[in-house]
Amino acid sequence: MTATRVRDRGTRLALLLAASLLLALPTEAQEEIAPAPPETPIQPAPTHPTVLESYLERPGILLVRRHHPLAPLALQGGGQMRLEAVAAHEPGMQHQRVMGIRIELDAPGLPAEERILYIDMHEIEELVRAIAFIGSATGGEDLAREGDRTEMSISTRDGFELGVARAAGAATAFLGTPRARFAVPRAAFETLRADLNQARERLFSE
């Protein structure tokens, strides 16, 4: 047997011995040699469509809440829509406050789960712009185009909806939810836009 073959055989034996020793190590030692990658924490899913409602409904958290009621808006059928500007924060942390609008639709026959809706701050601006466009000349031209039914509407994350529907040559303004729409005079949109602007000003002055 040559010296080279002896060395090769000795090398193989050394490798087998090292592998045997590694397998014989306790589990803790093996984990120290090859630690498992850390698990990625699972983030809890939001419980509500809006940031405001999710913040208000957090359990076990002490919150300071400020409500600024606005004048109610009359709905078809004797109901009304009430708006409140809402600001909430943990005590001593007003700089981290969460703001928005709480809507209550007080109308006969409307299910309890559809009566309360929330609007986040960025959605206030979206609604204000939409109302302005619906009342503009361009919006009127879009609604006047021929069709069996034409509708121009906007909806928020929580399901509040407003718009105008045109059928048989007549246009009807509405607001509410997709399953419960209430007819309102077109002038009610301008009142609502003024209320939304007022709510925004109240919140920013907090």
Domain ranges of the chain: 51-204
Could you read off the pLDDT of 99-155 as tens digits, one per residue? 999 999 998 888 888 899 999 999 999 999 999 998 886 777 777 776 678 899 999
Over pLDDT 90: what percentage of the chain? 53
Instruction: Could you list the beta-strand ranges (E) of the chain.
Output: 64-69, 73-74, 80-89, 98-106, 116-120, 149-155, 161-167, 170-177, 180-184
| Vertex 131: Cα angle to 130 and 137 (nearest 5) | 95
Write out the H or E segment, with its range, that includes residue 6: helix 3-24
Q: What is the DSSP letter of 42?
A: P
Q: Which residues pair with 104 in a beta bridge?
A: 82, 116
- Assigned CATH for 51-204: 3.30.2450
Query: Are 103 and 82 within 8 A, CB to CB?
Result: yes
Could you read off the pLDDT of 28-77 as tens digits, one per residue? 444 454 555 444 444 444 557 899 999 999 999 999 999 999 999 998 88
pTM: 0.72
What integer pLDDT is reported at residue 11 of this predicted model? 55
SS3 of 45, please? coil
